[in-house]
Amino acid sequence: MVDFNDKITYCRDKLLNFIQDWESTKGLDIIIDIYDEIRYSGMKKDNIRQKYLKILYNIKRSKNWHTILEKEDWTKLELFLNEFLEIQYDGKNYYIGKNCFSNLSLDELYQILLEAKYIKEKEINSIDNMEVL
């Protein structure tokens, strides 16, 4: 059986590899903020998962995010939901199709998103600071 920390680290590293060329974390911010709102709404855990994945599914299908995000950020978020997580709907349930992430709890996914965002922001800030020098 895979150790919890190994699974989290493996998935986080896959995410960091995917976002390596991102110049901002705005897409991750949105996904994290949505989960924060839903998980404290008082819903049952099973309902929270479906509600969250339904929202992510609807985001990936939406064409109106250009009003909130710059084109590059929207394109990256769309790729993240479509190709990285592979958010899908089978007519009954919403789910994550990507093997590494499909068996994670939402709390584990949340932890990975937070860690990746933190690491990516440090990287972006260090690049910005180097450009100032």
How far is Cα 3 from Cα 108, in angstroms, rounded to an integer? 13
How far is Cα 49 from Cα 53, in angstroms, rounded to an integer? 6
The predicted model scores a pTM of 0.87
% of the chain residues with pLDDT over 90: 70
Token pair recorded at residue 77? 């978020």
Specify the 3-state DSSP secondary structure of 87: strand
For 22-53, write each residue's pLDDT tens digit. Answer: 999 999 999 999 999 998 888 887 799 999 99
